Amino acid sequence: MSESLLIDRFGRAHDYLRISVTDQCNLRCVYCMPEEGMEFLSNDKVMSFDEIVAVVKAGAELGIRKLRITGGEPLVRKDIEVLIARLSAIPGIEDISLTTNGLLLERKADALHAAGLNRVNISLDTLDSSRFRMISRRGGLDQVLKGIEAASRVGFHPIKLNCVLLKGMNEDEIPDFLRMTLEHPLHVRFIEYMPIGHADDTWRSHYLPLQSVLDKAKELGYLVAKEERVKGNGPSEDFRIEGAVGTFGLIHPISDHFCKNCNRLRLTADGNLKPCLYWVDELNVRECASDPEALKAMFFRALDIKPENHEMAEKLWDAAQSHVPTDRRMSQIGG
């Protein structure tokens, strides 16, 4: 397969597109959206499957090879497996993954696998049911665990669990998540809480650098080594505890940002091509969804305005920033 033509001003080649198919969700996680007051997109504002397929076809001709389906919660989008089947049939697309909260995964796993989905990431911030209700503002931990079992049964591999660490809320469960990797072929990824759309005192009070995970592993007496073999498109720094069948990873955009290796663009549910998760810049592609050459031009425009890095860490001490951060919440962008 030819190399990507999507190379930005800083020499970064892009072969990965994250696609949000909805801004709606059946949870209200504290780090993703407010409990109340969210205004969700009306159906006519959400990209149709035809529009999404058109964008991906144009991107694939330029070198996009990997897709991740996100939301909101992507499994609340009706007939999502139909979209995945259409995307998997596009020449050049080699890998399709999906990030889900897992609530609907048990009932959807077979259809998603049959449609061509390769892998799943499942959000799981706690193993305690009452704490799950506190963080997600809803219930459903048992259903998420059943979703993980279903993902394993149908053959998704690897299965990654995304745990957003929140100081004062779930950092005491780091040992429990590490122990999971000893006995299960799971890939637990600890993620720093990001100030997307809300760099306020609440975010600062709950932010926790991920060095705490390595410190805890050492405290527990684990021998930890770097792991290079976990399949995926993301920025995780991966490790394996000696003798473990699974791995754990650190995604630390604030304490150790990874922008120099960024290979991704994002497509929001309302049809905006977004060069960087953090900054405000977006290009609406719906107006040219029927014109393949115009869509390709939009990909190149997105690369032209993509900055060298984000500046999330500066928000810890309210330092001045060189650009304008987005005011959209994580659920509105797609993560």
Residue 264 located in a structural domain: yes
Whether residue 88 is contained in a domain is answered as yes
- What CATH number is associated with residue 86? 3.20.20.70
**Percentage of the chain with pLDDT > 70?**
86
Asked whether residue 1 is domain-assigned, the answer is no
Instruction: Look at residue 3 and tell me if it is in a domain.
Output: no
Give a three-class secondary structure readout of the chain: CCCCCCECCCCCECCEEEEECCCCCCCCCCCCCCCCCCCCCCHHHCCCHHHHHHHHHHHHHHCCCEEEEECCCHHHCCCHHHHHHHHHCCCCCCEEEEEECCCCHHHHHHHHHHHCCCEEEEECCCCCHHHHHHHHCCCCHHHHHHHHHHHHHHCCCCEEEEEEECCCCCHHHHHHHHHHHHHCCEEEEEEECCCCCCCCHHHHHHCCCCHHHHHHHHHCCCCEEECCCCCCCCCCEEEEECCCCCEEEEECCCCCCCHHHCCEEEECCCCEEECCCCECCCEECHHHCCCHHHHHHHHHHHHHHCCCCCCHHHHHCCCCCCCCECCCCHHHHCC
User: Is the pLDDT score of 114 beyond 60?
Assistant: yes
Which range of residues forms the domain containing residue 167? Answer: 16-333
Q: What is the pLDDT of residues 231-287, one digit of tens each?
A: 666 678 999 999 999 999 998 776 666 677 889 999 999 999 999 876 778 899 999
Window from 105-109, 130-134, 195-199, 293-297 with minimum mean pLDDT: 195-199
Counting the structural domains of the chain, the total is 1
Confidence (pTM): 0.91
- Residue 4 in any domain: the answer is no
The residue that leads in pLDDT, 124 or 1, is 124
Q: For residue 8, tell me if it sits in a domain.
A: no
Note whether residue 7 is domain-resident: no
pLDDT surpassing 90 at residue 192:
no
Any domain includes 79: yes
